[in-house]
Amino acid sequence: MRLLLAPTPVSLYQGRVMTDTSSIDSAEATAPKSFAALRHRGFAIYFVGTMLAMMADSIEHVISYWVIFAKFASPGLQGFAVISHWVPFLLFSISAGALCDRFDPRRIIQIGMGMFIFVSLGWGFLFFYDGLEQWHAVVLLIIHGLAGVLWGPAAQLLIHDIVGAAHLQSGVRLLAGARTLGFLLGPVVGGALMLWLGPALGILVNAAIYLPLTLWLWKAPYGPRFRSADEAPRQPIRGLMDIVETIRHVRTLPRIMYMTLLGGVAALLVGIAFQALLPAFAIALGAERAENQYFMLLTANAAGALAAVVILEGGGFLQARVRTAFVLVFLWGCFMTAFALSRDIVLSTALLFLAGFFHFSYGAMLQTLVQLEAPVEARGRFIGLYNMSALGLMSFSGLTIGVFGEFVGIRWSLGLSSGLLAAAVLILYAMVRRRGAVSGLMS
């Protein structure tokens, strides 16, 4: 795809760079706080459609990873599956955001869903005829990763179109909750489909689970055509210059800059690489009941995230503030450090539940702050920049935890990485306070 479609102007962001957040405080003062986004027409459908799409994504992983491992028994190919999932976020997130600024985000999501459907159909065809080769798997895994990059910024941008600025945090939280719920249901439904229908037919059926969101977006009354007349004009796509200009301009928007850095540091040092180590932690906590303990740890982390959705949305707690975001990331680092050092399964389960709560809470808050502060005409690009940092840098968290763990042990690798994250948050917070004393950053 050719991204360089127009001559490069002096600056992508000349003119209007203010956000549309001037009335946020007054709107929030009168708005209902409990599950506020669900009060908007269309958001409930978007919530369910996103949950189903995320479940289908997870089902595809469950079935395809199992078949790949059974057929090839290749650790390298299994590792490539993880790399192909996260590296595209590092390389293409800003470009995907630029597409959303230029074109209708509904259509971008539909293209992503179409790619997911193509991949599921491709797996099913190859499984059915027993024709899967390693290069087939590599191609399908890459297409799947690219589909995820297209989906990410567009899905976030559409929240703003559906609920507006006043209820954006509620929308971000609930949509993240939908993705978490889909991720939890995926292994259960995927395992049932594989046992009931077999891998080939099961993954072919999975392709249909993407359809509800895809079809609803066709006529959903959101996107550029339905925005107010005074919206900033859509910007041309300029390839590499989009990346350069976005990174250059973020330095003039301190809240976005520091929230992006904060998400990036958390992704780089810990990310979700610890989930791959949970089987080893379960064995270390008691080899005789390792399978049950693995299930407990995995469930506890996800349950903490779902509890955050219910508690924070139900009570309208933890409104988006820069200071609060730092506290949440710091606490997540502390709880992950304590989990790494724990020798008791009950304590470890409780710590991982709390870690899941704070991990979800800070992620939703960082996304909200970035969207609220982003220039209207380049919101997609700045969401893409945040995704590049907070998701793309997870590509390297396996090095900081997994590879380092080969030398010092998993407890030390996770404990040191999490402790380093907590220390890095304190240092970054000190920098923000020093700058905030002049610029009002912490207000």
Q: How is residue 222 written in tokens?
A: 């959101």
Q: How many residues does the chain have?
A: 443
Provide the terminal-to-terminal Cα distance of the chain, rounded to the nearest Å.
43
User: For residue range 297-349, what is the model confidence (pLDDT) as tens digits?
Assistant: 878 888 898 899 889 888 878 888 999 999 999 999 999 999 999 999 999 99
> Which domains are assigned to the chain?
35-223 (1.20.1250.20), 248-443 (1.20.1250.20)
Write the burial class of residue 304 (CB in 10 Å: 0-12 exposed, 13-18 middle, 19+ buried): buried
Give the separation between CA 357 and CA 376, rounded to whole angstroms: 31
User: CB count, 10 Å around CB of 93?
Assistant: 26
**Of 76, 134, 83, 88, which is closest to residue 115 (Cα–Cα)?**
88
**How much is the pLDDT for 299?**
82
Contact 371, 381 (CB under 8 A): no
Write the burial class of residue 59 (CB in 10 Å: 0-12 exposed, 13-18 middle, 19+ buried): buried
Over the chain (443 residues), the average pLDDT of each successive run of 10 is 33 40 40 76 94 94 86 76 85 91 93 97 94 93 95 92 88 90 85 89 96 95 75 62 82 90 93 77 77 81 88 84 94 96 93 94 91 86 92 81 74 91 94 67 57
Write the burial class of residue 201 (CB in 10 Å: 0-12 exposed, 13-18 middle, 19+ buried): middle
Contact 164, 226 (CB under 8 A): no
**How much is the pLDDT for 234?**
61
**Of 293, 313, 56, which is closest to residue 176 (Cα–Cα)?**
313
- The CA R_g of the chain, rounded to the nearest whole Å, is 21
**Strand, coil or helix: what is 122?**
helix
Cα–Cα distances (Å) from 194 to 104, 205, 277, in that order, read 36, 10, 25
Contact 259, 25 (CB under 8 A): no
**How much is the pLDDT for 28?**
44
**How much is the pLDDT for 188?**
82
